Amino acid sequence: MAFFLNNMVSLEYQNSISPEQGEKAFQKLLDTLNTEFILIVDGAISIKDNGLYNVVANYKGKIITGMEAVKMTAEKAKYIIAVGTCASYGGISAASPNEAECRSLKQFLQESGIGKQVIILPGCPGNPDWIIGTIANLIEFGVPELDDEGRPIVFYGTTIHDNCERRSYFDKGIFAEKLDDKECMFKLGCKGPITKVDCPIRRWNDTDNWPVGNNTPCIGCAQKGFAKGIEPFIRLSDIKKN
């Protein structure tokens, strides 16, 4: 990560880790608009009440909403990346009742008349490898090969189920009955068969572990429709029956 930040990119603006604060931070973002840059958006875009549910800056007495900031930067960006499931598909933020009227980045840009390509990196949260790998690819080679949703195939080309270490149990029809059993967790609600991403081989915390490896069914956090569209995450009736 340190090599990436020190040698590969110049991180100009990020509202949590920018060294500048307040107006100075937002000025940095405005200055970046006149350069060649990659826009990376995490979180869904709230449009209710003209975006007032998500204020990112107070600049020269004017409130700047996330909606405005995304619009002004997307228009000028060389590449645009949506990081995480909320930016990619709306995710938990856009799940009903969606009080803040959240949109995915792509939907928001389309509705705003900005028809630019958006590379999406869904997952809740995004794995650092997906993010750094995609940015490095953009810098060195341009846009990576994408599927028809805009996901880089190198990370999202296979399902969890394709590479899961419990797959042999599934193929033999041997299923876990409770969460600390070692067999396939399909009957406990695992969404691995419908979730396309490389968690079983990529893993988390510096490749240490991943949900199924930690006895938790995949809840499909990287899949379109997460969260509301792919419930239930676990079928309590199945557990009781067994």
How many helices (DSSP H) and strands (DSSP E) are in the chain?
Answer: 12, 7
Q: Which is nearer to ligand SF4, 44 or 164 (CB)?
A: 164
Q: Which is nearer to ligand F3S, 137 or 163 (CB)?
A: 163
> Within positions 44 to 73, which residues make up the interface with ligand F3S, using CB under 6 A?
none
- How many Cα atoms occupy the beta-carbon half-sphere of 212 within 13 Å? 30
Q: Which residues contact 143 (CB under 8 A, 6 or more apart)?
A: 79, 117, 119, 137
Q: Considering the rule CB under 6 A, would residue 227 count as an interface residue with ligand F3S?
A: no
Shortest distance in whole angstroms from residue 187 CB to ligand SF4? 9
| Residue 67 near residue 50 (C-beta atoms within 8 A) | yes
DSSP letter for 146, please. Answer: B
> Within positions 112 to 131, which residues make up the interface with ligand F3S, using CB under 6 A?
123
DSSP letter for 74, please. Answer: H
By a kind-dependent CB cut-off of 5 to 8 A, residue 121 interacts, out of ligand SF4, ligand F3S, none, with: none
Give the type of residue at 186: F
By a kind-dependent CB cut-off of 5 to 8 A, residue 80 interacts, out of ligand F3S, ligand SF4, none, with: none
Q: Considering the rule CB under 6 A, would residue 210 count as an interface residue with ligand F3S?
A: yes
Which residue's entry shows tokens 């645009």? 80
Which segments within 17-127 are labelled E, that is strand? 38-42, 45-46, 55-59, 62-65, 79-83, 102-103, 119-121
By a kind-dependent CB cut-off of 5 to 8 A, residue 221 interacts, out of ligand SF4, ligand F3S, none, with: ligand F3S
Mark residues 157-196: x for contact with ligand F3S by CB under 6 A, - for none: ---x----------------------------------x-
Q: Which is nearer to ligand F3S, 24 or 235 (CB)?
A: 235
**Backbone conformation region of residue 56, classed left if phi is above 0, alpha if psi is from -120 to 50, else beta:** alpha
Please give the structure tokens belonging to residue 229.
């569209």
Q: Which is nearer to ligand F3S, 66 or 217 (CB)?
A: 217
Stretch that binds ligand F3S, among 8-16, 58-66, 75-83, 219-227 (CB under 6 A): 219-227
Binding site for ligand SF4 (CB under 6 A): 160-161, 164, 166-167, 170, 184-186, 190, 192-193, 212, 218
| Residue 218 near residue 123 (C-beta atoms within 8 A) | no
Q: For binding to ligand F3S (CB under 6 A), which residues are involved?
A: 123, 160, 195, 197, 199, 210-211, 218-222
